Amino acid sequence: MDEVKIGVFICNCGDTISKSVDLLDIRARLEKLADVALVSIGHDLCSPQAQQAIRKDIIDNGINRVVIAACSPQLYGDALANLVEKAGLNRHLLSVANIREQCSWVHPDKDKATKKAMVQIRMAVDKVRLQDVVEQAEVEVYKDVLVIGGGIVGMEVAIELSNLNLRTTLIEKEANLGGRLKQFAALYPLQVTPEEMLTSRLKQVTGSENIDALTSAGLKDLSGEVGNFTAKIRKGNEEISRNFGAIILATGYETLFLDKVYGFELGDNIITQSQLEGMLKSPGEIKKIPQSVGFVFDICDEHSRISTPSTLRNALVIKERFGSEVYVLCRNLQVDGAGLEKLYQDVRNKGVIFFKFERFPKVLRENGKINIQVEDLSMAREQVMLSCDLLVVEEKVVPHQDFATLESMLNIGLGPRDFYQEDNVHLYPTSSTKSGIFFAGNCHQDLDLGRALTDASNAASEAYQLISSGKMRVEVERVVVDPDKCALCLTCLRFCPHDAIRIDYEKKTAHILDLACQGCGICAAVCPAKAIKFKDWSDDQILAELEVV
Amino acid sequence: MTTGVEFLPCIVAFCCVHSAYQAADAAGRMRIPYPENIIMVHIPCAGRVDTLHILRAFENGADGVVILACHEGACHHILGNIRAKERVERANALLREIGVDGRRVEMRTCAPNDGSRFARVCHELEEKIKELGPSPLRKHA
């Protein structure tokens, strides 16, 4: 390898850095460091003129490693890497010392700030000295998406993708598309009926050339990684094998009645929300119109985005359709979706009476009637006795029973409540832990219908961004395994959170899938033989950085 | 402690790029000062930190080491922070074995937008290490 020549470019950031850091002193000290061939102080390195000057400096002085001491790499890290690339160097041969956000802006004392900036730049120099080249490559990916779950969210995802000109295969285990939407009696606060929404979406799905909807179908097996998944789909007795670039899960949720929580059993006049929805959907099932109906919720989940709106919705439907007395009993009513506050107002204006309780009300069955004894907090804690013909109770929203099978088949994670676990709830809310697999709708979060549809669009656009060009840029061998050191202990395989490690039994070594790797470095830290090298954060580099201590 | 010269502890903070590193940037944007003798090592995930790195920091003379990771359940790499915690415990046990106070190495969490928490954690760490005094492993102690 050639002689290492490090160029250090320091930005004064319109005097905000030089105000509290003595850059001239730093330059003098840096010039004495080994391998540092050039130290230059510039104005606003983010400007095109300054970048051109840096490029010229790199080329003219034969610099082959670059350190830039400026603002946070979170801001211009990519732009600076592009700059280094344009100067003919590999984009990884750059280290950024964050002397603005993490130094000059927080340490007003000039001596101390200068000392810290020197430490930071020295660490960057020590790190970049040992940096290996990591090439980038373009890989062809399939421009097909597999959507699992043909409910309203799955259909929405497929429609969005087909509008973006991506071919989609939509698989649904039931005989018909539509999922839970088919059971809903109304969609307040949305101004459409479930039938209208379903018909319009079905028309779009069946009318689109890009969507292949397979009903009574399920995923049997999946192999490969992002950009090149191979799925075996079972439809009846047939088995179809197809390739996909990305997968979106829209498997929805299930509901469960918890008799232990309530302390009573269901019966003719105590029914669940889903049973009520079934009744409202097929009016023939209603033998006698109930004169008074009670709803109880907020028991299983504190403030569920699914059960609160559905209670309000069904209370309004009953009030409008039958004119019955309606009581809603809950611990604390919270609504946080678009239009839900108005829906709540509408429900109250129609004459539905709300009771908020602290202790769960007593429910007594008597002569075909349900008597509910509740302590009313708004009326000086008086015991109120309500008599209802029908009591509707909330169910717990639980993950679908297929989740566990899909989890192991797709190698993705389940969160604490056994719903799918997002990669990061805040930063990557629709991404799974495995690259190329996304979530939409209620399979990963508690969402009302409006939010679930937004979530569907988000997931669709994430998948679009990933594979729409038919190509993906990938870092080649950013993390490498030394086959001589690898003892096939499988530790890395077990620890990798992104399922990016495979074992090559012929070569007797683990190897890392460049496409699936997301660069956390956990494998490099856990490898007992230290056989894994993460080129951007190798052990040598981190230890070299620690030399400043 | 009362030797006339004020003891300035040297603390190494491994900062996860998904949380603490961004929190430090946030602290910078909000101009919240924190002790400058904290050496921040930029890492891709707390899970990248090996027991070796922690021990080397002490060997080189650090008075305290902290891993600043994402809150539990919010790790971009799912269990990176949990892995880091295990390694902190391991380093802790090893340090105790050679007679160094295990409290010198710690794991803390913070959110990427929480600059004030980052600064507060830094102050707390400095206070703690000041109480513990210089590390017995300091080369020039």
Please give the full DSSP string across B58-121, using - where no structure is assigned: HHTT-SEEEEEEPPTT--TTSSHHHHHHHHHHHHHHHHHHTT--GGGEEEEE--TT-HHHHHHH
Q: Answer yes or no: do A508 and A392 share one domain.
A: no
> CB-based contact (8 Å) between B77 and chain A?
yes
> What does the DSSP 8-state code read for residue A181?
G
Query: Residue A467 has which token pair?
Result: 């594979």
CA distances in angstroms from A37 to A32, A63, A65, A547, B54, listed in the order given: 10, 7, 10, 21, 32
Mean pLDDT value across residues A146-166? 95
Total domain count for chain B? 1
Cα gap A475→A459, rounded to integer Å = 24
Range of the domain at B119: 17-132
Q: Which residues contact A352 (CB under 8 A, 6 or more apart)?
A: A315, A316, A319, A326, A327, A328
Mean pLDDT value across residues A491-502? 92
- Beta partners for residue A249, in sequence order: A148, A439
Are A522 and B83 an interchain contact pair (Cβ–Cβ within 8 Å)?
A: yes
Q: Answer yes or no: do A153 and A204 share one domain.
A: yes
Q: Answer yes or no: do A155 and A246 share one domain.
A: yes
Q: Is residue A136 part of a domain?
A: no
pLDDT of residue B58: 95
Q: Answer yes or no: do A381 and A260 share one domain.
A: yes
Q: Answer yes or no: do A316 and A421 share one domain.
A: no
Mean pLDDT value across residues B18-36? 94
Cα gap B91→B84, rounded to integer Å = 10
Q: Answer yes or no: do A287 and A225 share one domain.
A: no
Range of the domain at A60: 6-131
Q: Is residue A265 part of a domain?
A: yes
Q: Is residue B3 part of a domain?
A: no
> CB-based contact (8 Å) between A322 and chain B?
no
Q: Answer yes or no: do A25 and A122 share one domain.
A: yes
pLDDT of residue A494: 93
User: A519 pLDDT exceeds 70?
Assistant: yes
Q: Is residue A212 part of a domain?
A: yes
User: A93 pLDDT exceeds 70?
Assistant: yes
* Chain A residue at shortest CA distance from B70: A424
> What does the DSSP 8-state code read for residue A145?
E
Cβ–Cβ < 8 Å for A432, A148? no
pLDDT of residue A158: 97
Query: Residue A527 has which token pair?
Result: 């490898």
Mean pLDDT value across residues B30-56? 95
Cβ–Cβ < 8 Å for A471, A139? yes
Q: Is residue B91 part of a domain?
A: yes
Residue A542: which of B39, B41, B74 has the nearest Cβ? B41
Q: Answer yes or no: do A378 and A420 share one domain.
A: no
User: A138 pLDDT exceeds 80?
Assistant: yes
- Beta partners for residue A353, in sequence order: A327
Q: Is residue B137 part of a domain?
A: no
Q: Is residue B11 part of a domain?
A: no
Cα gap A327→A387, rounded to integer Å = 10
Contacts of A423 in chain B (CB under 8 A): 76, 78
The CATH number given to whatever domain includes residue A310 is 3.50.50.60
pLDDT of residue B27: 96
Q: Is residue A299 part of a domain?
A: yes
Among the candidates A90, A107, A131, a domain finishes at A131
Rounded to 5°, angle at Cα B10 from B4 and B14: 165
Location of structure tokens 């250090």: A8
Q: What is the pLDDT of residues A317-369, one digit of tens each?
A: 999 999 999 999 988 888 888 888 999 999 999 999 999 888 888 888 888 88
Q: Answer yes or no: do A393 and A403 share one domain.
A: no
Q: Which residues contact A262 (CB under 8 A, 6 or more apart)?
A: A296, A299, A360, A363, A393
Contacts 24+ apart (CB under 8 A), A484-489: A484/A531, A485/A529, A485/A530, A485/A531, A486/A510, A486/A529, A486/A531, A487/A528, A487/A529, A487/A531, A489/A528, A489/A529
pLDDT of residue B140: 56
Q: Identify each DSSP E strand in A71-191 by its residue range.
A: 94-98, 136-140, 144-148, 167-171
Mean pLDDT value across residues A441-462? 92
Q: What is the pLDDT of residues A196-235, one digit of tens each?
A: 999 999 999 999 999 999 999 999 999 888 999 999 999 9
pLDDT of residue A380: 73
Q: Answer yes or no: do A341 and A263 share one domain.
A: yes
Contacts of A426 in chain B (CB under 8 A): 74
Among the candidates A471, A500, A516, a domain finishes at A471
What residues 454-513 of chain A have any CB closer than 8 A to a CB of chain B? 495, 497-498
Total domain count for chain A? 4
> CB-based contact (8 Å) between A112 and chain B?
yes
Q: Is residue A137 part of a domain?
A: no
Q: Is residue A274 part of a domain?
A: yes
Query: Residue A125 has which token pair?
Result: 């120099």
Q: Is residue A199 part of a domain?
A: yes
* Chain A residue at shortest CA distance from B86: A526
φ/ψ of residue A358, rounded to 5: -105, -45
pLDDT of residue B1: 46
Q: Is residue A43 part of a domain?
A: yes
Contacts of A416 in chain B (CB under 8 A): 73
Q: What is the pLDDT of residues B79-132, one digit of tens each?
A: 899 999 999 999 999 999 999 999 999 999 999 889 999 999 999 999 999 999
Q: Is residue B80 part of a domain?
A: yes
Contacts of B21 in chain A (CB under 8 A): 74
Query: Residue A288 has which token pair?
Result: 């006698």
User: B3 pLDDT exceeds 60?
Assistant: no
CA distances in angstroms from A335 to A8, A107, A342, A440, A447, listed in the order given: 55, 45, 10, 22, 12
Q: Answer yes or no: do A238 and A279 share one domain.
A: no
Q: Is residue B123 part of a domain?
A: yes
Q: Is residue B108 part of a domain?
A: yes
Confidence of residue A61 (pLDDT cuts 50, 70, 90): very high
- Beta partners for residue A7, in sequence order: A38, A66
Mean pLDDT value across residues A237-258? 92
ipTM of the complex: 0.94
Among the candidates A471, A503, A531, a domain finishes at A471
- Cβ-Cβ pairs closer than 8 A, A with B, add up to 133
Confidence of residue A264 (pLDDT cuts 50, 70, 90): confident
φ/ψ of residue A140, rounded to 5: -75, 135
Percent of chain A's residues with pLDDT above 70: 99
Q: Answer yes or no: do A263 and A380 share one domain.
A: yes
Q: Is residue B25 part of a domain?
A: yes
